[in-house]
Amino acid sequence: MKKLFYFVLVFVFMYRGAEAQESHQYLVIEFIKVSSSQMVDYSENKNFLEKIHEQAVKQGDIQGWDLWSLQSGPDQGGFQYVTITYYDDPVKMMNGMTDDNFLNYAKRAYSGDMNEMEIAKEVEKVKDNRDLAMRAYMTVVAQTEDNFDMKPGVLASFDLMKATEGQFNEYEHVEEDLYQPFHQKKVEADMMGSWKFLRTAVPMGSEAEYTHMTLNFYNNYMQFFNSMEYEDMEATEEQLVAMEEGLSSRDQKWVYMATLIKAIR
């Protein structure tokens, strides 16, 4: 029994050590529909949402939160906003913003301004004014090294990809080994602000509409359009061919352009 106990204890410490050596970031990305009749109400709720997520950051439950206004995307989506909630732990991510958590953060943020009944009413109003039409649980696989300032007004493109069946590893290889260095050069050439490559953090099955996502961040539209014209003059012919072939290992399902409204860290 003692041998078994020591074996389990050693295993636990080894597991925690491995976890500490490899730190991941987890993102919950929510695409939100707001009806035209509720657009004004949702717009007025932005500050309320900001205060709630500030409390979540103070509690150490999340690392940050963004609110983006969508400017373009596929017609069938019909989304107006997208939020990103940042986590450093997958369990925290899956527990997420439950109704109870949401209400408790609101109480901490507004206890001096409203009574509990008023706070609960405001929370219900916020929930009624939005439809969380699509939620993605993602983990960061690769990203550029940068010091991009995530401030209101910056742009992002959300590119949703589906890896071709049987070519999951091939596609990730292309993004990590070929496209990440390419985007790093764009960052260093001031042609983009930042880039992240994400995969779904939970199993979705073969019928899933997407398996991966790239987030591309820009200071403004001038940088965005200049980025579209960027060519890596140092890339070899073999690298260019590999990048082109890599496109066949995935299907680019949708691309959304968005402007940052709120950012909490």
Residue 21 has pLDDT above 90, yes or no: no
What number is the average pLDDT over the span 97-119? 90
What number is the average pLDDT over the span 24-41? 79
pLDDT band at residue 153, thresholds of 50, 70 and 90? very high
Residue 10 has pLDDT above 80, yes or no: no
Our CA angle for 140, 142, 143, nearest 5°, is: 100
Coil, strand or helix at 222 = helix
More confident residue, 60 or 41: 60
Q: Sign of the CA dihedral 68, 99, 95, 79?
A: negative
Residue 45 has pLDDT above 90, yes or no: no
pLDDT at 12: 35
Phi, psi of 107 (to 5 degrees): -65, -40
Dihedral (Cα; 68, 69, 72, 76), 10-degree rounding: 90
> How far is Cα 239 from Cα 259, in angstroms, rounded to an integer?
33
Coil, strand or helix at 175 = helix
Cα distances (Å, whole numbers) of residue 75 to 15, 39, 83, 256: 46, 18, 19, 11
Contacts with 126 (C-beta within 8 Å, 6 or more apart), sequence order: 45, 48, 49
More confident residue, 107 or 20: 107
Whole-number mean pLDDT of the chain? 83
> How far is Cα 165 from Cα 206, in angstroms, rounded to an integer?
8
Query: DSSP alpha helices (H): ranges in the chain?
Result: 2-21, 39-44, 46-58, 90-95, 99-110, 116-128, 168-174, 180-188, 221-228, 237-246
Task: Report pTM.
Answer: 0.83
Residue 3 has pLDDT above 60, yes or no: no
pLDDT for 243-254, tens place per residue? 676 666 777 778
Which residue do the tokens 């071709």 mark?
A: 164
* Residue among 32, 151, 47, 150 nearest 83 (CA): 32
pLDDT at 125: 83
Cα distances (Å, whole numbers) of residue 83 to 4, 136, 244, 248: 46, 10, 32, 30
pLDDT band at residue 221, thresholds of 50, 70 and 90? very high
> How far is Cα 154 from Cα 147, in angstroms, rounded to an integer?
14
Range among 48-62, 158-172, 191-205 with highest mean pLDDT value? 48-62
More confident residue, 249 or 163: 163
